[in-house]
Structure formats: C-alpha cells, structure tokens
Amino acid sequence: MNELEFHLKKTSLGWVPAVTSDKGLCWASLAPDREQALFLTNGQYPELSLHVARKVSGRVSAREDWVHALAGAVDQPGKRWQAPLDLQGTPFQQAVWKALQGIPAGSVWTYGQLAQHLGRPRAARAVGSACGANPVPFLVPCHRVVASNGGLGGFGLGLAVKRVLLEREGVRY
C-alpha cells in the first residue's frame, strides 16, 4: 500500500506543503501562508485529504523526519539533507533530477552544462523543462542551474526564492 500523506511545515521562507508516500517525499512547494499551501496542494493532489499528519503516541514518524529534512533544506540549502524520494517522471526527468543532486552546494551549472553532463549536449531546453517539473525543488536542487547568458534562468518557486537559496549557499546573483 502506497498511501499518500499531507504535511505542512513552517520555514524561514514561508509554509512548505509536502506530500509523502510510503517510499518517500513525492512533492513539495512553498507558500506565504497556510491557506495558500492548502490551495497549492489541492491543485496538485485533488484526491488527497488535506489533514496535517499528527504524531502517533508522541513519536515522530519517518515521514515527519523526511519533511523535517525538507524544511531544513529550505532554511539551510548548503547543508546535506537526506530523505528518501518517490518522484514520478519520465526517464529523462529522472536522469536530470538525479544529476541535480550531484551539483555541490555553493556551485552553479548552466542548463547546457547539465545537458552535456547527461550526454545530451543539445538538450539544454529539455533540461530546463525537467528542472521546472522538479517535484521537490529543495532536496533536488534545481536552483543551482542557471542560464548560460549569466542570468538566473527560471525557477518554479520564483526567482526571488532561487536567489535567496543561492545566497544562503554563498553564491551571489
């Protein structure tokens, strides 16, 4: 059984709604308040009952540990946070997301460099699309990928958030 569960965690950048399965984190976003967090999650997972998971008998579940790691990656993106991931995507997206996890904190690659790394040197735009489809942008650090023209490129949670995450890793943009 791979039951989905909703979690909500406050961070320094806002509220992080997250969805977990039995296997790991499936999806996360960022919202300025609880209501927007619920709205974003409902848009992504309309079938999910949006009741925040509660501690059972005072213990913290493994899923709550995963969400804690996720929130830690928001507040301290340069630190190595680990949690199992249960990401759904095409084989190309999966390859991009795996490669993103290998980009060291405090460094940036261009979309073209990432495409080259994947053996697909002409796939920079496809790499950008895969980054945009990243369901857990804090643990799969797509904020570390920038445009070849020196610009920030894109980021699903907004360029202001991308800039903050990079600055927290010591990268000025």
Q: Exposure of 95 by Cβ count < 10 A (0-12 exposed, 13-18 middle, 19+ buried)? A: middle
Q: What is the pLDDT along the chain (173 residues), one digit of tens a residue?
A: 578 999 999 999 999 999 999 999 999 999 999 999 989 998 899 888 765 554 444 556 899 999 999 999 999 998 989 999 999 999 999 999 999 999 999 999 999 999 999 999 999 999 999 999 999 999 999 999 999 999 999 999 999 999 999 999 999 98
Contact 160, 167 (CB under 8 A): no
Contact 101, 140 (CB under 8 A): yes
Token representation of residue 9: 């965690």
The full set of domains in the chain, from first to last, is 5-75 (3.30.160), 91-168 (1.10.10.10)
What is the 3 state secondary structure string of 144-157? HEECCCCCCCCCCC
Residues serving a catalytic function are: 142
Q: Please name which of 41, 44, 43 lies closest in space to residue 53, comparing C-alpha atoms.
A: 41
What predicted TM-score, i.e. pTM, was given to this entire model? 0.90
